[in-house]
Amino acid sequence: MRAVIVRSFGGPDVLEVEEVPVPEAGSGQIRIRVAAAAVNPVDLQTRSGALTAGGVLPPREVLGIGWDVAGTVEALGPQVTGFRRGDAVIGLSDRLALPLKAQAEYVVLDADAVASVPAGTDLVAAATLPLGGLTAAQALDAAGAGPGDTLLVTGAAGAVGGYAVQLAAAAGVRVVAVAGAGDEEVVRDLGAEFFVPRTADLPAAVRAAVPGGVHAAVDAASVGMLALDAVRGGGALVSVLGNAPTPLRGIRVSNVWIRADGPRLAALAAAGLRPRVAGVLPLHEVAEAHRRLAAGGLRGRLVLVP
């Protein structure tokens, strides 16, 4: 089978699409025939060596690439229940130091990282849900905003931010969305009550809309202290990219570190969330996908199809 790997760090040209053995499903594992795999910022950080330089990813001779997968169950290992061959599923490969990951023709995941999807689901669109949807859901858990509370979401037109807006609005939270000026209609359609263009004076604009500041913030665009300044004293801020600001004014500050969660993923798949697919490319054009993501300006995720 073909799989995306890296043997050395650098630009997109270090990505290789190589023929490797089809992986076997061990006890408690599922082998998935990949229909689609999304490309995420963590893939770029893995390929460039940034994660290894930061001490997050141990050096390895070969590293697989890809976290998000959608496809069909191809084989079940011992002690797996609740799935059958041919089931349409999505899953998350949340371990970093693996020689094979989701950008491949087949991937093996622990069964508790996999979720069935409703019949007729567009698997290309579904491939954008695991990392973005679970990150958004787990960030909202940490933010603790409830019905009637106000929540700031930066990067609201992106993959994680877009899911955060939808999930928060569905829970009765009043969302203040920050995005590009041309994205106001998009984020309001996702459920945002207030809109702030990212070029605005963020704390002033948010506090003009919500006197005293928002109850909490999900900082999906790494705005940092500017987002914190829009939060009222004693509130909460959750950083998605691992660089949470100093917790001033009694604000509870945390990072969300994504973890696979099959049952939560199944609930997200059934929730009717609107995915954001920025484009579809064949697997062998993975380097081009990295270039496009690095260039910025995407609304959603690029998806690779084997």
Per-residue model confidence (pLDDT) at position 119: 84
Instruction: State the average pLDDT over residues 178-183.
Output: 94
State the average pLDDT for the chain: 96
The answer on pLDDT for 98 being more than 80 is yes
CA-to-CA separations, 79 to 43, 83, 88, 92, 98, in angstroms, rounded: 31, 11, 19, 20, 23
Residue 291 in tokens:
């270039």
Cβ pair 173, 146 in contact under 8 A: yes
Rounded-to-integer distance, Cα 68 and Cα 113, Å: 11
Per-residue model confidence (pLDDT) at position 242: 77
Superfamily of domain 2-128+275-305: Medium-chain alcohol dehydrogenases, catalytic domain (3.90.180.10)
What are the residues whose beta carbons fall under 8 Å from the beta carbon of 158, sequence distance 6 or more?
179, 220, 221, 276, 298, 299, 300
Cβ pair 243, 256 in contact under 8 A: no
Residue 64: strand, helix, or coil? strand
Per-residue model confidence (pLDDT) at position 297: 81
Per-residue model confidence (pLDDT) at position 201: 97
Per-residue model confidence (pLDDT) at position 152: 98
Tens of pLDDT, residue by residue over 2-14, are 999 999 999 999 9
Percent of the chain beyond pLDDT 70? 100
Tens of pLDDT, residue by residue over 223-244, are 999 999 999 999 999 999 878 8
Tell me the pTM. Answer: 0.95
Domain ranges of the chain: 2-128+275-305, 132-255
| Lookup result for tokens 């005293």 | 212
Per-residue model confidence (pLDDT) at position 192: 98
Residue 192 in tokens:
């945002």
CATH topology of domain 132-255: Rossmann fold (3.40.50)
pLDDT tier at 218 (50, 70, 90 boundaries)? very high
The b-or-e profile of 268-303 (16+ CB within 10 A means b, else e) is: bbeeebebbbbeebebebbbebbebbeeeebbbbbb
Instruction: State the average pLDDT over residues 203-228.
Output: 97
Tens of pLDDT, residue by residue over 43-63, are 999 999 999 999 999 999 999
> Would you mind telling me the total number of residues written for the chain in this entry?
306
Tens of pLDDT, residue by residue over 151-160, are 999 999 999 9
pLDDT tier at 298 (50, 70, 90 boundaries)? confident
Which among 295, 302, 290, 273 is positioned nearest to 162, based on CA atoms? 273
Instruction: State the average pLDDT over residues 93-108.
Output: 97
The answer on pLDDT for 149 being more than 90 is yes
Instruction: State the average pLDDT over residues 207-227.
Output: 97
Which range has the worst mean pLDDT, 162-166, 249-253, 275-279? 275-279
